[in-house]
């Protein structure tokens, strides 16, 4: 889909590089600029200079070593930028300008360029010059405050979720800017920050906070607004269930064989179940203890109740749907 699109990647680590990888996956010609000798910081995550994380985050790209602090390196990078449709960088605000590869310098020679800056906090403001990484953004966006068990410390969400949120948003706004350029002939400078991108993952708690004035708290694996919608213990593991409406709840109670859950006023409505959550949960888990997770998944699916197992990470890739969709592909990685 993006064959013929030329992308210059001046970014490092995860957020910026993964944005350009998404473009490369769709056929764009991506040239990644790295520092001579050391390269991208991700290379050092394994001693031989080619960590698995680096390879995954930077697949399908061509790489070139340029010292942007040297006049010749900066000149060559600017020459690449002049020929690019998209430039992605994640320097601290002002650094790209100082190196001679900022938006003003690039757009002077390439007015149609779509120039994407991925920052921790944005181009301006009291935090603009601060370094931002995944866990910093998770903490300052409120995501960690919402994650974890009640009464326990704030918890980081697994994976580099803040980086990837920014990467996907950067990919989206760059794509929109390319459509705008096709219509108008004009490029533009776009900024995507890690903190704003991570906050964008939380529209429901944000809306609830401004609607009620009450600060959301950690509720563990349950949905604070809907129940049953959480992870329950079974005979041999865990079952994730989401019951969205009264019809689904009736079917769930029937397959559990618990008449009290089906008829007691404490559990008759979603609001009532939220008010008596601990009692409801105890009854659900008492019923689920009678059979293994796989059996409960089959029963729920047959009853049209949304449910699934909670996999250990190595089990994810053995799931028949993952295999059917081809979510994992074996490739040869140079180096």
- Secondary structure of 192-244 as H, E, C letters: EEHHHHHHCCCHHHHHHHHHHCCCCCCCCCCCCCCCCEEEEECCCCEEEEECC
**E strand or H helix that includes residue 99:** helix 95-99
Cis peptide before 228 (omega within 30 of 0): yes
Catalytic residue among 40, 85, 163, 191: 163
Instruction: Report yes or no: 120 and 132 within 8 Å, Cβ to Cβ.
Output: yes
Please report, for the chain, how many H helices and E strands are present, in that order. 17, 9
Give yes or no: 163 in active site.
yes
Q: Is 292 helix (H, G, I), strand (E, B) or coil?
A: coil
Q: How many CB atoms lie within 10 A of CB 55?
A: 16
E-strand stretches of the chain? 6-9, 29-34, 62-65, 86-89, 114-119, 188-193, 229-233, 238-242, 306-309
Instruction: Tell me the catalytic residues.
Output: 163
């Amino acid at each position: 889909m993006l064959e013929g699109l030329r992308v210059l990647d001046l970014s490092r680590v995860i957020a910026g590089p993964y944005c350009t990888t998404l473009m490369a996956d769709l056929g764009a010609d991506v040239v990644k600029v790295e520092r001579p000798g050391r390269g991208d910081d991700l290379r050092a995550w394994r001693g031989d200079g080619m960590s698995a994380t680096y390879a995954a985050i930077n697949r399908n790209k061509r790489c070139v070593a340029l010292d942007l602090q040297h006049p010749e390196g900066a000149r060559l990078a600017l020459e690449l930028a002049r020929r690019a449709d998209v430039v992605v960088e994640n320097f601290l605000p002002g650094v790209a300008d100082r190196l001679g590869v900022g938006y003003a310098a690039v757009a002077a020679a390439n007015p149609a360029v779509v120039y994407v800056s991925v920052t921790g906090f944005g181009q301006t403001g009291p935090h603009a010059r601060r370094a931002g990484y995944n866990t910093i953004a998770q903490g300052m966006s409120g995501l960690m405050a919402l994650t974890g068990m009640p009464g326990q410390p704030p918890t980081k969400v697994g994976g580099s979720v803040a980086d990837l949120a920014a990467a996907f948003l950067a990919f989206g706004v760059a794509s929109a800017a390319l459509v705008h350029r096709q219509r108008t002939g004009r490029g533009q400078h776009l900024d995507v920050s890690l903190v704003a991108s991570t906050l964008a993952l939380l529209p429901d708690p944000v809306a609830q906070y401004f609607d009620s004035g009450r600060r959301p708290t950690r509720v563990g694996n349950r949905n604070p607004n809907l129940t049953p919608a959480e992870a329950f213990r079974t005979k041999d593991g865990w079952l994730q269930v989401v019951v969205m409406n009264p019809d689904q709840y009736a079917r769930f109670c029937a397959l559990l064989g618990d008449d009290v859950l089906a008829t007691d006023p404490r559990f008759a409505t979603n609001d009532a179940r939220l008010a008596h959550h601990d009692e409801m949960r105890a009854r659900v888990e008492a019923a689920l203890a009678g059979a293994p997770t796989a059996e409960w998944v089959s029963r729920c699916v047959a009853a049209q109740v949304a449910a699934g197992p909670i996999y250990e990470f190595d089990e994810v890739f053995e799931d028949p749907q993952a295999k059917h969709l081809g979510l994992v592909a074996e490739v040869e990685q140079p180096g």
